[in-house]
Amino acid sequence: MNIDPVFGADRYARYANLRADAPVERIKTPPGTPGPAELWLVSRHDDVVAALHDAPLHLEQPPQYQFGIRTLLNTDPPDHTRLRRVVSGLFTRKRIQSLRIAVQAIADDLIDHLPAGETIDFIERFAVPLPITVICQMLGIPADDWRLFREWTPKIFNTDEESVTTRPAAVAQLIQYMGGLVRTKRDHPADDVTTTVIQNGKDVLSEQELLSTLMLLLIAGHETTVNLLGNGLLALIQHPDQLELLRSDPARTPDAVEELLRYDSPVSHATIRYASEDLTIAGVRIAAGEGLLLALGSANHDPALVSEADDLNVHETATSTWPSDRACTTAWARHWPDWKANSRSTRYCADPPRFPLPWNQKSCNGGSVH
């Protein structure tokens, strides 16, 4: 089966077919995608969760697929544990609290500068600048430089044929940029995440690991949220009753965020994992060394997780657990409920008429991997 792992607009219908007829399906990846040409796509909720927790899988890429950047996302213990120790204390309660205020200020400023009564590109005007400005502030990166990352990141992650030729230069430019940032912070330490990673990583990380850790924080720290904002807004526009519920009761925002994460997953599948030994999932034999794509987006739409899985319901949602040693930078997740409970973001639900619907949805993201 030829399949674009990022799928298209009809991906949830295709996932439903796969869950019913081929829960572990052999797929071909698009030409130009780093990694194996063929993978096993696992689409049922229970199989995905079992694979994440218990299956003999590893993330270290076979040598032929490595393109020089080893990060938390493609290492196994003990290297993963060593890298993880450097970042696990980054998101302290204090930093997250001060971040909340900073995020609110950035969001307010972006909204205040949106032209009223005109069509806007939500992705370019809000969904990208909000998280990228936040992560740049956290890393101590000059505010205007985010436009460089906006240019390089798609070249690194796109899977079209052109990216085969443009990716190496973009990776090199990003590495060079981060090298300059590290030199600056070594000369002028500051109260930011880059300085903390440099200090925590002293005698623990190689220079290459230091750069790749910072690059991961930069990219994972914004691409995902761009998708959440874009997909989330689109879902609400497509479900005016749910949008109305949220507007009439903004206190539901924390649950709504969880539901939007489930309904149209910002990360459509987990990082490729490789079988450490021969194994069987849903009756399909997978040989040691073969790669698996765990379809998070499909798992989130499996009626085994929630009965009306294709409906958006901002009143309630269902979530699955992620193995704690691989969870998204632990402390971030730990403080998330605290942050949501104190969020003033309800302002935008309660005060919507400045930006009437319908919105032009042409540039909403379809989900991506990080």
Stretch that binds ligand HEM, among 5-13, 100-108, 263-271, 310-318 (CB under 6 A): 263-271
Q: Minimum Å distance from CB 255 to ligand HEM?
A: 16
Between 11 and 112, CB nearer to ligand HEM: 11
State how far the Cα of 95 lies from the Cα of 332, in Å rounded to an integer: 10
368 touches ligand HEM by CB under 6 A: no
Between 168 and 254, CB nearer to ligand HEM: 254
Give the E-state strand segments of the chain in sequence order.
Answer: 24-28, 38-42, 57-58, 273-275, 279-281, 284-286, 291-294
State how far the Cα of 237 lies from the Cα of 230, in Å rounded to an integer: 11
Residues 221-250 that bind ligand HEM (CB under 6 A): 221, 224-225, 228
Q: Which of 169, 214, 179, 220 is nearest to 196 (CA)?
A: 214
48 touches ligand HEM by CB under 6 A: no
Lookup: tokens for 29: 């990846």
Between 5 and 161, CB nearer to ligand HEM: 5
195 touches ligand HEM by CB under 6 A: no
Q: Minimum Å distance from CB 326 to ligand HEM?
A: 5
270 touches ligand HEM by CB under 6 A: yes
**CB of 292 closer than 8 Å to CB of 57:** yes
**CB of 79 closer than 8 Å to CB of 86:** no
Between 88 and 346, CB nearer to ligand HEM: 88
326 touches ligand HEM by CB under 6 A: yes
- 15 CA to centre of own chain: 20
**CA–CA distances in Å: residue 189 to residues 181, 182, 218, 283:** 11, 10, 18, 55
Lookup: tokens for 106: 């950035």
266 touches ligand HEM by CB under 6 A: yes
State phi, psi for 164 to the nearest 5 degrees. Answer: -60, -40
Between 182 and 220, CB nearer to ligand HEM: 220
State phi, psi for 291 to the nearest 5 degrees. Answer: -95, 145
Q: Minimum Å distance from CB 346 to ligand HEM?
A: 19
137 touches ligand HEM by CB under 6 A: no
Peptide linkage before 337 cis (omega within 30 of 0): no
Q: Minimum Å distance from CB 57 to ligand HEM?
A: 10
Q: What character string, x for contact with ligand HEM (CB under 6 A) and - otherwise, covers 64-103?
A: --------xx----------x--x----------------
Q: Minimum Å distance from CB 256 to ligand HEM?
A: 14
Q: Minimum Å distance from CB 4 to ligand HEM?
A: 18
Between 25 and 258, CB nearer to ligand HEM: 258
Between 326 and 347, CB nearer to ligand HEM: 326
**CB of 265 closer than 8 Å to CB of 322:** no
**CA–CA distances in Å: residue 63 to residues 35, 41, 59, 70, 289:** 10, 22, 12, 11, 12
Between 170 and 220, CB nearer to ligand HEM: 220
State how far the Cα of 167 lies from the Cα of 242, in Å rounded to an integer: 40
Between 41 and 267, CB nearer to ligand HEM: 267
Binding residues (CB under 6 A) for ligand HEM: these are 72-73, 84, 87, 135, 216-217, 220-221, 224-225, 228, 266-267, 270-271, 326, 328-329, 332
